[in-house]
Chain A
């Protein structure tokens, strides 16, 4: 499984990577992007199974990234998870229409992210 983490904070990306590695679920590669445009460029050139994305990012937001992905069949098999400080009802409603599997609101305890990852990674493997 190849994972892409999109967040403009490098330390948040590091924290997420640490949780993923601690679960010991087999992962082939963990890719990183600092904004939605970087993430899209990676997705266009690399076969990724799981996207963990923030919403508020420069250049291209996570919402715009997800809208772009949802508009094409090309990424039908890509599991999408939002990890964001924006926990508003309106954003969650928008996410529901964009093929988002799970919405994780910051701040979160490591165990919560662990549970989300185990759930989505487990589904990915079956």
Chain B
């Protein structure tokens, strides 16, 4: 088995690897179906979203560092919250601090699952996720994935730090 470093994996296969991590996280911990989405369909769904929650997490692995962000609509965030915690949606609405925490943990798990599968067995560190409200999904300068989870749009952006090994354009 070859030992691959993280920067070497920021390539055409990265999109599939990140999507695989997202799908695994969505299914195992959130009981949700994740499917890839083309740009036109994603933009049509995104146009109906009044506000997004954007969760970003920084990562470092050896010489490589960067950040991953997950952007999703409020309504999807709330559905994921109920799925993860097992709370009944008919109960009182959750506190937004708790939803933000959960969205941060979602990004943490997706990033961690991707790195665990891609970093050639090496350890990595993840920063504490930050969650902000935004009018649009985070664009990112590197890889961008458009996905639907239970028919709601979610965008994943992956960016490597400048000055470290540069990211190639991804799928």
Contact = CB atoms under 8 A, between A and B. Distances in A.
Interface of A: 8-12, 14-15, 18, 56, 58, 61, 84-91, 94, 105-110
Contacts of B127: 56
A88 B116 contact: yes
A94 B121 CA distance: 12
Contacts of A88: 115-116, 119, 121-124
A11 B101 contact: yes
A87 B84 contact: no
B29 to A, nearest CB: 4
B interface, over-half SS: helix
Nearest to B81: A11
28 contacts: A9-B104, A10-B98, A11-B81, A11-B84, A11-B102, A14-B85, A18-B85, A58-B128, A61-B125, A84-B112, A85-B108, A85-B112, A85-B126, A86-B116, A86-B126, A87-B116, A88-B116, A88-B121, A88-B122, A89-B121, A90-B123, A91-B123, A94-B123, A107-B24, A107-B109, A107-B113, A108-B29, A109-B29
Contacts of B104: 9
A9 B121 contact: no
Contacts of A12: 105
B81 A18 contact: no
Contacts of B112: 56, 84-87, 106
Contacts of A87: 112-113, 116
B155 interface: no
B25 interface: yes
Contact of B28 (A8, A61, A84, A107): A107
A8 B127 CA distance: 11
B85 A11 contact: yes
A106 B29 contact: yes
A92 to B, nearest CB: 9
Nearest to A89: B121
Interface in B152-166: none
Contacts of B50: none
A18 B29 CA distance: 13
B123 A15 contact: no
A63 to B, nearest CB: 8
Given A15-B86, A85-B111, A86-B123, A8 B116 contact: no
Contacts of B116: 85-88, 105
Give 4 closest A-B pairs by Cβ, nearest first: A85-B112, A89-B121, A87-B116, A107-B29
